[in-house]
């Protein structure tokens, strides 16, 4: 273990929600209103939103925000980077005292939404990082999503709940072996077929 | 050097352009029409666009696409990951024979556009990756953009040409020292002030 960050295993995600609609402000605000973010540290500016806390809540909140935006039927996308074990990452440590119960799962479960997603795992500080990545890509073939490989990324297609489930599991299993891991993702829903 | 990819130093970028507008299809298509992508390998699906070739053309094309979309005045964003030295990355090697002259610089130069951008560098396969990152973050302080640090990323504010110039330089200088490097970025223009 090459752990720079002491005892805290605080996770985080820096992401942006992109509604491809003139109503983008309303869609973003209403998604945020419907999602309970009280178990995570949160900071939003004009480029990204950053949330930090226990891994379970990071995935719960990002999935919920995406789902509540996608249920509008508009073409929405979300892109971001999950991170854990980042050196110096300690000022939101108080959120690590929250319980493990996700606050948004019940409401999220009511939303069925298909999506396409590309993700890439970056285990840092390890010379054998490619072995860790390949091992994980193999694992994801057993999930309830369609998995395909593409340049620089793995593509997942299916229900948003299954996609975020696969992302969460992939990230979790790699961070058990590697202290500092980041995972980029781009997810898209309600895309018109002929979009280029 | 931990170079898995033989002689080729092919670079690539997997990115998505996000116009926050009902006219998103028209904005994407017209931006693509105005940009000459003949010096890069290119593949687009409903989630991302991937381009590959010489580093100079990867940055020339991504900057040009963003600028031509932003000049519409709509709130547009772009998010993606630059990559170089990715193992197994060889089927677009023919594009490495192109000359170094960027095809879009002349037309891009006519567009003045302010933007905000966050980026993160990930040198892979190196235990001293944090030193490489910190060294680079120091370097960027000397450029013609406002540099600030934020969770998981470095923020750049200024003219889009200067932002992409800083991204290009940061990526280039790290890849001279580290074989496999990825760099994530999110750039946003024409954002309404009170957007959350």
Q: Are A62 and A13 in contact (CB under 8 A)?
A: yes
Count Cβ neighbours within 10 Å for each residue of A52-86 and write b for 16 or more, e otherwise.
bbbbbbbbbbbbbbbbbbbbbebbbbbbbbbbbbb
Strand order in the sheet with A11-19: A41-44, A49-53, A11-19, A76-84, A181-189, A114-123, A153-159, A146-150
Q: Are A79 and A124 in contact (CB under 8 A)?
A: no
Least Cα distance to A168 among A97, A68, A84 occurs for: A84
Radius of gyration, CA atoms only, chain A: 16
Whether B116 and chain A come into contact, CB under 8 Å, resolves to yes
Confidence (pTM): 0.92
Report the percentage of chain B scoring pLDDT > 70. Answer: 88
**CATH numbers and ranges of domains, chain B:** 11-87+111-189 (3.30.70.930)
User: pLDDT-based confidence at B22, cuts 50/70/90?
Assistant: very high
The residue of chain A nearest to residue B181, with distances taken between CA atoms, is A122
DSSP-based three-state secondary structure for B59: helix
pLDDT at B140: 60
A81-103 residue pLDDT tens: 999 987 766 678 888 889 999 99
pLDDT at B195: 42
Nearest by CB to A191, from B46, B79, B124: name it.
B46
DSSP-based three-state secondary structure for B70: helix
pLDDT at B5: 44
- Tokens at A149, concatenated: 């490989």
Give the DSSP letter string of A22-38: TTHHHHHHHHHHHS--T
Least Cα distance to B75 among B192, B163, B193 occurs for: B192
Residue written as token pair 């020339």: B60
A36-68 residue pLDDT tens: 999 999 999 999 999 999 999 999 999 999 999
Q: How far apart are the first and last CA of chain A?
A: 43
pLDDT at B133: 79
Rounded Cα distance between A134 and A137, Å, is: 5
ipTM score? 0.90
Q: Do residue B21 and residue A20 have CB atoms under 8 angstroms apart? A: yes
CB proximity list for B39: less than 8 A, separation 6 or greater: B53, B54, B57, B61, B95, B98, B99, B103
User: pLDDT-based confidence at A5, cuts 50/70/90?
Assistant: very low
Whether B1 and chain A come into contact, CB under 8 Å, resolves to no
Whether B46 and chain A come into contact, CB under 8 Å, resolves to yes
Counted across chains A and B, CB pairs separated by less than 8 A come out at: 152
């Amino acid at each position: 273990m090459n752990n720079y960050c002491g005892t805290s295993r605080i996770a985080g995600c820096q992401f942006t929600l992109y509604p491809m609609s003139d109503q983008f402000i309303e869609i973003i605000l209403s998604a945020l209103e419907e999602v309970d973010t009280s178990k995570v540290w949160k900071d939003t500016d004009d480029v990204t939103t950053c949330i930090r806390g226990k891994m379970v809540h990071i995935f719960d909140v990002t999935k919920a925000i995406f789902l509540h935006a996608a249920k509008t039927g508009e073409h929405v996308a979300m892109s971001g980077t999950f991170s854990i074990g980042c050196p110096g990452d300690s000022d939101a440590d108080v959120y690590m005292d929250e319980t493990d119960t996700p606050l948004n799962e019940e409401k999220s479960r009511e939303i069925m939404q298909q999506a396409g997603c590309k993700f890439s795992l970056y285990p840092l500080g390890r010379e054998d990082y490619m072995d860790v990545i390949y091992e994980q890509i193999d694992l994801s073939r057993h999930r309830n999503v369609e998995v395909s490989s593409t340049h620089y990324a793995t593509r997942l297609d299916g229900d948003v709940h299954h996609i975020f489930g696969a992302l969460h599991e992939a990230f979790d299993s790699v961070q058990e072996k590697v202290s500092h891991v980041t995972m980029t993702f781009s997810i898209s829903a309600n895309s018109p077929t002929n979009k280029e």
